[in-house]
Amino acid sequence: MSLHRWETQAQRGRDILNNSIPKQWLAPTDTLPPAAQKNVIDFPRKSGLLSERELSITELSATQLVTEMGRGKLKAEEVVVAFLKRAVLGHQLLNFATEFMADQAISRAKELDAYFQRTGQLVGPLHGVPISVKEHIELKNRTCNTGYVAWVDQIATEDAYLVQLLSNAGAVFHVRTNQPQTLMHLCCVNNITGATLNPYNRTLTPGGSSGGEGASTGFKCSPLGIGTDIGGSIRVPAAFCGSYGFRPTSMRLPRAGLKVAASGQETINGVVGPLASSSLEDIELFQKAVLDQEPWDTETSLAPVPWKTVTPNRNVTVGIMWDDGCVRPHPPIVRGLKLAKEKLLAAGIKVVDWEPFKHDHGYKIISSLYYPDSAALQRKIIRESGEPVLPLSDWVFNFSRSSPLSHPEAWELQHDRDVYRDDYNALMKSRGVDFILSPAFPGVAAVYGESHYWNYTAIWNVLDLPAAIFPSGLSVDPKLDALTEQDKKYKPRSEVDEREWEKYQGPERYEGAPIALQVTGRHFKDEETLAAAKLVEEVIKGEKKDSKL
Amino acid sequence: MSLHRWETQAQRGRDILNNSIPKQWLAPTDTLPPAAQKNVIDFPRKSGLLSERELSITELSATQLVTEMGRGKLKAEEVVVAFLKRAVLGHQLLNFATEFMADQAISRAKELDAYFQRTGQLVGPLHGVPISVKEHIELKNRTCNTGYVAWVDQIATEDAYLVQLLSNAGAVFHVRTNQPQTLMHLCCVNNITGATLNPYNRTLTPGGSSGGEGASTGFKCSPLGIGTDIGGSIRVPAAFCGSYGFRPTSMRLPRAGLKVAASGQETINGVVGPLASSSLEDIELFQKAVLDQEPWDTETSLAPVPWKTVTPNRNVTVGIMWDDGCVRPHPPIVRGLKLAKEKLLAAGIKVVDWEPFKHDHGYKIISSLYYPDSAALQRKIIRESGEPVLPLSDWVFNFSRSSPLSHPEAWELQHDRDVYRDDYNALMKSRGVDFILSPAFPGVAAVYGESHYWNYTAIWNVLDLPAAIFPSGLSVDPKLDALTEQDKKYKPRSEVDEREWEKYQGPERYEGAPIALQVTGRHFKDEETLAAAKLVEEVIKGEKKDSKL
């Protein structure tokens, strides 16, 4: 049987991946957990494939790694090798990589070590920190397919500007990560390298579109990763995989060199931002390392707003949004919010309920503004190769718009968007709420193919607010998260509410999945939002995160 | 003969104007200069209709007015009355107003005086400064027609946000000013209140679209005015009328309450900004008064960039752009640039030639992005009333685009726009040029109906750079600006170049017109740009502008 042309093309994408895997670190297949084993999060430690030192290194935060390298206790080379080894193992279990860059990364790490040895100085604030990179972020002389089979042979001529800045700061790029066809799934499957799995439960999605980054940081294959987010694509993977993620206000981080179907579209601005394996402090490290280089002096669409250091302030009001008024969150999520409320109150922090303001209106706006052209560009790129339209691509195409908007219709929606932003902002001020604590999704990590409802994250995209994700420390519990008699009597408010509620069925489907929370702040208050998220996390977990070892 | 319906509607717009004119200050018709008298700039002084004190008041800058009010030497009431009287006279000669607001302005001035008497304090940095307002900027309970007959009955429910901020700072709004049909002429005529004239030569246009503001500030009917600019609409009127004007970087000044046909369109962002009768210092006063109120905390599409005080720095490099590579400037403009170069060099300031970078490319981008819908919205509003499409409206509709862009086509142009911005910015940095000194138009004030070529101003809109206009102190000279033998042999580079060059014919057509210059700086360097423009003006004029009396 002959292959379709697109399959040959897709195979070239797989070849790039397979040829790049450092074979010496592959675990023998017979040592791997059985495919039926859902939770593989502890496998690195249990497998014996990594040394104690390698395990310790990969469990450090980026901040800790830099500190240790600055003290001469760690070398960049051993750091990147440790993460590469863990990444190879992670890839065997989760299929999260699209390309390994081991030789280049090791060679770069050696340079950093030589520099440190020569000068006694670190190159910059990210000296020797391995960073994984979502595939559609361009890297010089490497292909960039953005999840489209038609693009598997397209080669970037330059590193994305953000990558250049991170590199100036000392970062080492060791692995590129998977994304869905079109980038527009909160899931992670394409026709090239297939589906990425969730490290806590391999029947679940790692989320998307930066799903490879979710798996990479969740499995600690990298302390930091670069994702992109236009509706939740950084935050959902972070939430689903038990890691940290941040959607900055748009026009702060540079976007030159992000390969997308519709360059120049600005109806809803996608953003680039970090995911982290270990802490919100690492997210701050990333943001500061980039913004201290004043990227607005080169990429002129950015706002010239320097990063400022903000320490958590306990004198704030946190509004808890239990429900967005449209889709009822599942029991584990509600349990996470309840814990947060209890702990915040006990810590003397002011907590109020946040009544959502027209989230359905916001969702209508953003859904229309994703594809004013009715996804014509995306469909065209799919048609070019003849690859099949995947179910969640089809779903988002049809969900969003069935026919193109006229320009005046699009402008009216953009006007509505801006009015909605100003109204929401005014409401936060008039209610005296500084930050909103909310779910990141109706439930924990979705069953593959079921991540349909975006608006616990997309709402902050249409409003262009900074939003941080962190793990609550809880995960799905078969007893605590069972449906109560009252739950079973729930009458959904709409078909969408019903669809989402019926997915839950019970905790068994979601065994092992972490429960994450989202903290959102006001426009351009990125620093304050991260500081508030740190405060909430510390209060919930009863621990002061400390970057010292 | 019965009137067309649109004429009845237009008459209602004229009635608003005519009913608002404070009749007690109208000069008897027989005391006015004959219609054939071109230059009326000295008429206020010669007419004897204003007292010496009123003449002195209206010749002060806003900064000086505030200083004197702060010293108790002037009262807000006498200030606004003086400007109202001059504005009534100016309107009789130039037809620049669309509505006087004498009672409201005087009553507001009295409140300010009472406040000062009570507290010894000024209300704010614009205490008692009369400001004229371009008609399409909404004022509560007043109509707002944006130059469309169809809209003459539309009433605003709120003051534009910028107006609120200026009012907080103590400003007094005394007169509203004319604009062209569609706002898209560098000229000033509509089917409601007709054509506004240039105070230096009434056969010439005051420019547009903020042509009423050009006349208002040029004739000193107000020390400050509010205009808007998407292709030169603040700067061209300032240049044509011998006043000062500034196009800020977009997303600094608030735009809520600017009534336009295509709210929500953001292919090219129009901006709002000041014109001033007397000094660039007044422009700074205006900008600082607004931005010190942190409007981004309310209008969330603005960048949170505070105003900073910058003093002129002589250690800069000024690039002089003699020609944009597309359309040759007329002799008076070249003479203005030559004077500037000579004076700058004599003052020891570094001057180089600025080689324009793809201005034709920039003009193509912006021309297409003005009307991605092929001006369908604008045409529709014109059709609603049945008013005639004026020649320059027809011209801009056809010049811009004959058929709508698809969304992907528009996005590609937006992408090209952003790349062009970054490239131009990089070029300024690599050439070490801090500011560009250039013409604001191929010539001085255009003959009515001839202001076709926008790209000496529109180029800075597509690039989103801050640009300031100031008078060189020169005006058209019959001898110095005569065409030389060499001029007469000029072979135009294109049809457009030929069209613009042939308009000149000789200095006689432009008798009395002032020669203005434009200083442009880098993105978001608004403060530095104004400081540089002040420096260049001072050097050219050999005077240190002093806000003390």
pLDDT tens digits, residue range B212-258? 999 999 999 999 999 999 999 999 999 999 999 999 999 999 999 99
Name the A residues in 243-302 with CB < 8 Å from any B CB.
251, 256, 262-266, 296-301
- Cβ–Cβ gap B414/A264 under 8 Å: yes
B407 touches chain A (CB under 8 A): yes
A421 touches chain B (CB under 8 A): yes
Q: Is the pTM of this model over 0.90?
A: yes
Instruction: Give helix A376-385 / helix A391-400 axis angle, nearest 10°.
Output: 150
B contact test, residue of A407, A419, A461, A522 with most B CBs within 10 A: A407
B372: which chain A residues are within 8 Å (Cβ-Cβ)? 407
Q: What is the pLDDT of residue A1?
A: 53
B contact test, residue of A406, A411, A419, A527 with most B CBs within 10 A: A411
A413 touches chain B (CB under 8 A): yes
Per-residue pLDDT tens over the stretch B486-531: 999 999 999 999 999 999 999 999 999 999 999 999 999 999 999 9
B308 touches chain A (CB under 8 A): no
What domain count does chain B have? Answer: 1
Whether residue B406 lies inside any domain: the answer is yes
Whether residue B546 lies inside any domain: the answer is no
Which residues of B are catalytically annotated? 134, 209, 233
Q: What is the arithmetic mean of pLDDT over A301-315? A: 95
Q: What is the arithmetic mean of pLDDT over A341-345? A: 98
Share of residues in chain B with pLDDT > 90 (%):
96
- The CA distance from A257 to A261, in Å, is 12
Quick check: B285 pLDDT over 90? Answer: yes
Residue of chain A nearest B411, judged by CA positions: A264
Q: What is the arithmetic mean of pLDDT over A58-71? A: 98
Whether residue B1 lies inside any domain: the answer is no
Whether residue B265 lies inside any domain: the answer is yes
- Cβ–Cβ gap B425/A266 under 8 Å: no
Full 3-state SS string of A104-133: HHHHHHHHHHHHHHHHCCCCCCCCCCEEEE
Whether residue B7 lies inside any domain: the answer is no
Share of residues in chain A with pLDDT > 90 (%):
96
Whether residue A429 lies inside any domain: the answer is yes
Q: What is the pLDDT of residue A9?
A: 96
Distance from CA of B414 to the nearest CA of A (A): 5
Question: In the predicted model, what is the mean pLDDT of chain B?
Answer: 96
- Cβ–Cβ gap B298/A422 under 8 Å: yes
- Cβ–Cβ gap A418/B298 under 8 Å: no
Among residues B270, B266, B271, which one has the least CA distance to residue B413?
A: B266
Share of residues in chain A with pLDDT > 70 (%):
98
Comparing CB atoms, the residue among B301, B421, B422 nearest residue A418 is B301
B421: which chain A residues are within 8 Å (Cβ-Cβ)? 300-301
Q: What is the pLDDT of residue B507?
A: 97
Annotated binding site of B for substrate: 183, 209, 230-233
Residue of chain A nearest B404, judged by CA positions: A407
A414: which chain B residues are within 8 Å (Cβ-Cβ)? 264-266
Bridge partners of residue B137, in order along the sequence:
B258
Q: Is A183 annotated as a binding residue?
A: yes
Comparing CB atoms, the residue among B298, B373, B523 nearest residue A406 is B373
A406: which chain B residues are within 8 Å (Cβ-Cβ)? 373, 376, 404
The residue that leads in pLDDT, A401 or B182, is B182
Per-residue pLDDT tens over the stretch B423-477: 999 999 999 999 999 999 999 999 999 999 999 999 999 999 999 999 999 999 9
Q: What is the pLDDT of residue A545?
A: 53
Per-residue pLDDT tens over the stretch A21-48: 999 999 999 999 999 999 999 999 999 9
B156 touches chain A (CB under 8 A): no
Q: Is A231 annotated as a binding residue?
A: yes
Residue of chain B nearest A371, judged by CA positions: B407
Among residues A14, A13, A257, which one has the least CA distance to residue A137?
A: A257
Torsion of Cα atoms, A323 then A328 then A329 then A332, to 10°? 120
Quick check: B361 pLDDT over 70? Answer: yes
Q: What is the arithmetic mean of pLDDT over B400-408? A: 85
Q: What is the pLDDT of residue B548?
A: 43
Q: What is the arithmetic mean of pLDDT over B349-355? A: 98
- The CA distance from A294 to B516, in Å, is 35
Whether residue A73 lies inside any domain: the answer is yes
3-state secondary structure of A467: strand
B415: which chain A residues are within 8 Å (Cβ-Cβ)? 263-264
Among residues A182, A178, A233, A172, which one has the least CA distance to residue A207?
A: A233
Bridge partners of residue B229, in order along the sequence:
B271
Q: What is the pLDDT of residue A98?
A: 98
Quick check: A549 pLDDT over 60? Answer: no
Domain range for residue B438?
13-29+49-541
A158 touches chain B (CB under 8 A): no
A427 touches chain B (CB under 8 A): no
What band does A400 get if pLDDT is binned at 50, 70 and 90? low
Q: What is the arithmetic mean of pLDDT over B182-203? A: 98
Torsion of Cα atoms, B340 then B429 then B367 then B509, to 10°? 10
Comparing CB atoms, the residue among B298, B303, B373 nearest residue A407 is B373
Distance from CA of B216 to the nearest CA of A (A): 32
The DSSP string of B334-373 is HHHHHHHHHHHHHTT-EEEE----SHHHHHHHHHHHH-TT
Residue of chain A nearest B372, judged by CA positions: A407
B404: which chain A residues are within 8 Å (Cβ-Cβ)? 406-407
ipTM: 0.96
Name the A residues in 479-538 with CB < 8 Å from any B CB.
523-524
Q: Is the Cα torsion angle A195, A196, A202, A203 positive or negative in sign?
A: negative
Edge to edge, what strands does the sheet with A244-247 contain? A97-100, A172-177, A130-134, A224-229, A271-276, A244-247, A467-475, A514-520, A435-438, A317-320, A350-353
What band does B1 get if pLDDT is binned at 50, 70 and 90? low
- Cβ–Cβ gap B408/A376 under 8 Å: yes
Q: What is the pLDDT of residue B34?
A: 96
What band does B549 get if pLDDT is binned at 50, 70 and 90? very low
Whether residue A359 lies inside any domain: the answer is yes
Per-residue pLDDT tens over the stretch A428-445: 999 999 999 999 999 999
Comparing CB atoms, the residue among A299, A412, A421 nearest residue B300 is A421
CATH no. for residue A399?
3.90.1300.10
Per-residue pLDDT tens over the stretch B29-58: 999 999 999 999 999 999 999 999 999 999
Quick check: A144 pLDDT over 50? Answer: yes
Quick check: B342 pLDDT over 50? Answer: yes
